[in-house]
């Protein structure tokens, strides 16, 4: 994933290129009226350019090159720098609003996993999370990952943003996997092999599971459990690739395998547009599902 350039300059103020034009006017002994006439623009438009209200366009840059030099590229670079600095200053103010969202994101936990950099600086946390979720603002997270999340789990509070962090990590891990083209027929033929692997521990069998899934066109990933999400697994598609993610919670082996086969069933029965999240159940619910053949 591309990382933010740590050497990006964070300006305190944005200086419009009009200040440089004024300096040149003074050096050349021109007043505003004369320069406007030489540039063949109105005095009002020149005033707006000098004050940073109107941008230096390609046309104006060429005119400035002819009248006061040095080049059109010079003036366009000044204008670009000015506009970027204005936006960076605005972005810094937006961070204050994003800090409200920061309060409900389990930053400490996911930084312990190494998903984001450890830091106590809240501004830095916002920037790190923008990179992690690949969004320009934390307010876009829920819109970008528009999936139905469980609203409650018994009497426990559910962390929606924790669940979205888990899904994002599953996504990035899955996209890094090389797999063949997805094939339902291949997947069906591999189910007996998967069932044979249930006789082994999950840790022992996982490399073989991963290999078989890749042959069927599935990126199988293990993602550390994020507290208060109650996610056991998920199935979704990214870049025409099927991703099956399983949560690492140290739960019983039968729950691990139940979740895996549950996700495989989604790939066989449902469309690529759907995102399926499998949440933790009580032991009684798992037993009921097994009895019912689900």
Q: 3-state secondary structure string, the chain?
A: CCCCCCCCCCCCCCCCCHHHHHHHHHHHCCCHHHHHHHHCCCHHHHHHHHCCCCCCCHHHHHHHHHHCCCCHHHHHHHHHHHHHHHHHHHHHHHHHHHHHHHCCCCHHHHHHCCCCCCCCCHHHHHHHHHHHHCCCCHHHHHHHCCCCCCCCECCECCCHHHHHHHHHHHHHHHHCCCCCCCCHHHHHHHHHHHHHHCCCCHHHHHHHHHHHHHHCCEEEEEEECCCCCCEEEEEEEECCEEEEEEEECCCCHHHHHHHHHHHHHHHHHCCCCCCEEEECCCHHHHHHHHHHCC
> How confident is the model over 68-105, as pLDDT tens digits?
999 999 999 999 999 998 888 877 777 888 888 998 89
**Ordered domains of the chain (ranges, CATH):** 18-97 (1.10.260.40), 170-292 (no CATH)
Token pair for 225: 């459990």
Burial class (CB in 10 A: 0-12, 13-18, 19+), 152: exposed
pLDDT for 287 beyond 70: no
Out of 51-65, 141-155, 227-241, 244-258, give the one with best mean pLDDT: 51-65
- Res 235: pLDDT: 93
Own/partner pairs, 85-92, CB within 8 angstroms, 24+ separation: 85/11, 85/13, 85/14, 85/15, 86/14, 88/8, 88/10, 88/11, 89/11, 89/12, 89/13, 89/14, 92/10, 92/123
In angstroms, the CA 120 to CA 2 distance is 23
Quote the pTM value: 0.71
Reported as a pLDDT band with limits 50, 70 and 90, residue 257 is confident
As a whole number, the mean pLDDT across the chain is: 85
Token pair for 37: 């006439």
Contacts of 224 (CB under 8 A, 6+ apart): 113, 169, 247, 248
Which of 239, 245, 240 lies closest to 182 in space, CA to CA? 240
Question: Hey, what's the torsion of the CAs at 274, 275, 281, 287, to 10 degrees?
Answer: 40
> How confident is the model over 224-251, as pLDDT tens digits?
999 888 888 999 998 889 999 998 765 6
154 backbone dihedrals φ, ψ, rounded to 5°: 55, -130
Residue that wins the pLDDT comparison between 254 and 74: 74
Query: Residue range 28-33: average pLDDT?
Result: 92
CB 160 within 8 A of CB 140: no
pLDDT for 117 beyond 80: yes
Residue that wins the pLDDT comparison between 270 and 43: 43
Reported as a pLDDT band with limits 50, 70 and 90, residue 175 is very high
Query: Residue range 145-149: average pLDDT?
Result: 66
- Which residue(s) pair with 248 in the sheet? 224
Most distant pair of Cα atoms in the chain: their distance: 92
Query: Residue range 58-71: average pLDDT?
Result: 94
- Res 93: pLDDT: 72
């Amino acid at each position: 994933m591309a990382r933010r350039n740590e050497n990006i300059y964070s300006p305190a103020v944005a200086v419009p290129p009009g200040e440089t034009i004024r300096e040149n006017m003074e050096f050349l002994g021109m007043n505003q009226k004369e320069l406007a006439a030489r540039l063949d623009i109105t005095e009002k438009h020149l005033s707006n350019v000098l004050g940073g209200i109107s941008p230096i366009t390609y046309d104006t840059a060429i005119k400035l090159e002819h009248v006061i030099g040095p080049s059109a590229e010079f003036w366009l670079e000044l204008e670009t720098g000015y506009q970027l600095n204005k936006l960076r200053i605005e972005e810094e103010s937006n961070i204050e609003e994003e800090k409200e969202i920061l309060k409900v994101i389990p930053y400490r936990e996911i930084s312990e996993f190494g998903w984001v950099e450890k830091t106590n600086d809240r501004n830095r946390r916002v920037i790190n999370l923008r990179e992690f979720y690949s969004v320009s603002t934390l307010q876009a997270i829920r819109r970008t990952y528009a999936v139905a999340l469980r609203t409650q789990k018994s009497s426990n509070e559910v962390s929606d943003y924790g669940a979205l962090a888990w899904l994002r990590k599953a996504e990035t891990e899955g996209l890094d996997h090389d797999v063949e083209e997805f094939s339902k027929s291949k997947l069906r033929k591999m189910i007996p092999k998967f069932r044979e692997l249930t006789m082994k521990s999950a840790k022992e069998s996982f490399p073989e599971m991963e290999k078989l899934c890749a042959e069927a066109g599935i990126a199988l990933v293990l993602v550390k459990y994020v507290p208060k999400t109650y996610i056991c697994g998920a199935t979704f598609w990214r870049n025409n690739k099927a991703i099956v993610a399983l949560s690492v919670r140290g739960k019983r082996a039968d729950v691990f395998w139940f979740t895996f086969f549950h996700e495989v069933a989604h790939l066989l029965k449902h469309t690529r547009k759907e995102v399926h999240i499998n949440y933790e159940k009580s032991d009684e619910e798992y037993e009921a599902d097994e009895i019912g053949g689900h």
